[in-house]
Structure 1
Amino acid sequence: MGNTEAVNAGNIPEDKWLAVLSNDSSYDGQWYYGVTTTGIFCRPSCKSKPPNRSHVRIFQTASDAESELFRPCKRCKPAERHLPDEEWATHARVYIQTHYREPLTLSHLADALHLSPYHLQRTFKRLTGSTPAAYIQQIRMQEAMKLLASTNLPVTDIAGQVGYANAAHFATRFQGATGLTPTQYRGEKQKP
């Protein structure tokens, strides 16, 4: 196991936490921080959105972070080795599949993956053939189809469970994707 100083909020020294919040480059090379929810590690000077303190772990070296399966941030490049774009696209797909219920914007997704929105959009589309927004909708529709076919939940509840705050917007998107309203789709799939 690598040399980590902190696992949760109470253990992170205040000076290191303040360095992360202020993107203090004077600490670069002295230690690194990892974010447990994304599995990414950064330099203290990284300009990414500040993480939740309870999700931060401190590592003495980049190797320590990598030995615990944290990936180097593509923004601040804390390690000599950088991930190929294909791996970043895979991480983006996994993140979307895990968080599709949440309000996902390109900016939110880029922050979570430590990429610029421009790079994420361009690279994701080049490698997958669709934009992140189209992929989010695809995952949401797949999950909605499963719920419509296997449950009797109201369409409003299903809309909320797959990430749509507005049931009418969900119904419009669903009909655009399938050619059927959610109710028609359920009727077709639940026929005896």
Structure 2
Amino acid sequence: MQYPAPISKLIEGFMKLPGIGPKTASRLAFHVLNMKEDDVLEFAKALVNAKRDLTHCSVCYYITDKDPCLICDDSQRDRSVICVVEDSKDVMALEKMQEYRGQYHVLHGAISPMDGIGPEDIRMAELIKRLQDDTIKEVMVATNPSIEGEATAMYLSRMIKPTGIRVTRLAHGLPVGGDLEYADEVTLSRAVEGRREL
């Protein structure tokens, strides 16, 4: 037996989210049906507003509702260090530990030849352009400790080292195959403290 079309479409919509399979999508859809109409409308409005009102910072490409973002606009941050991450979620993970006070650059992905993603498909060119600023002394590579993250880190190292800018990598306190957003503050703090040359 099939669900009515509106429920089926709602289930399909939830299944497009990462980590949501058919059973979880069904539970979420029926939960929404049991919510008050005002709450459903507020939830829908939040989804639409997030998609409409958010953009990427023109400097670091972090997700923001103001350009430049609050991090790039903060004059108290160390402008000589740029931390390179794969995704905006990684910026939030690093900011939670409240120890890193430099700038960021969000690549929006990682090099993955198997998936047809090369350096030209992520914000690599924009990073290289930012490095022409003489105030940059260090690039801290904080890509995920995955095959794609390591490939991206090595590519960045080869591109940046000839410029004389110091290239460091987060220490291996992070699990291989894990994502920055799931690491706790202590692990991230140790990883930043123990970063090494590439």
- For the criterion TM > 0.5, the same-fold answer is no
Bucket of the pairwise TM-score, normalised by the shorter protein? under 0.3
Q: Which is strand-richer, 1 or 2?
A: 2
Q: Which is helix-richer, 1 or 2?
A: 1
